[in-house]
Copies of this chain bind each other. A is one copy, B any other.
């Protein structure tokens, strides 16, 4: 389950003003989170040991295990944070101009395409985690499935706002395309198939709007 662990700044009564907890409350757990995020995304979860994480974070192992019950739960926490951030960024991009969903999707796609062309692009950390942990009972896999399901729902809603006759089918078609960008981006690099994603998305949207 891995309920969030930090946030102990708020439990002492808010009397003294200057600095309630200041030193400790942020250090270990948050540094571990940041290190895990970097290392897990770039190298994969299974490839990174807890020793490497704590060493990268400048802390020691017991500090990790006081904030996270296990490596699996740390991985789940990593996926939860990354997934929520990703969904929030997607929402924010779409919300920037609510009257033009198609144009805003294009904005998001331009960013995705740019990222996918960078060397050492590693695709979607959520998808990668599902590849690394096929067992559906695994904590990391459960978070990955949850995030992906919510992203799929957003694409269906977006397709509806664009006026698709079958929004769920357009949403799914777009999701196929995006997952293709994640995979082929890390496989082929800059000149890879991801270069055509915007044209392809346009074609699929047109297909679902006309007629």
Residues of A within 8 A of B (CB): 42-44, 46-47, 120, 122-123, 127-128, 130-132, 134, 144-145, 148-149, 152, 169, 171-173, 175-184, 186-188, 192-197, 199-200, 203-204, 206-207
Copies in the complex: 2
Known contacts A132-B44, A134-B44; is-contact A176 B173 (Cβ 8 Å)? no
Which 6 A-B pairs give the minimum distances between C-beta atoms? A176-B180, A172-B193, A203-B207, A179-B180, A179-B183, A173-B200
Taking A173-B199, A176-B177, A178-B180 as known contacts, 10 extra A-B pairs with beta carbons closer than 8 A to each other, sorted by chain A number, are: A130-B186, A134-B186, A148-B188, A169-B199, A171-B193, A173-B196, A173-B203, A176-B176, A176-B184, A180-B183
Chain B residues in 8 Å Cβ range of A194? 176
B193 touches A175 (CB 8 A): yes
Bound-state CA distance A120–B175 (Å) is 20
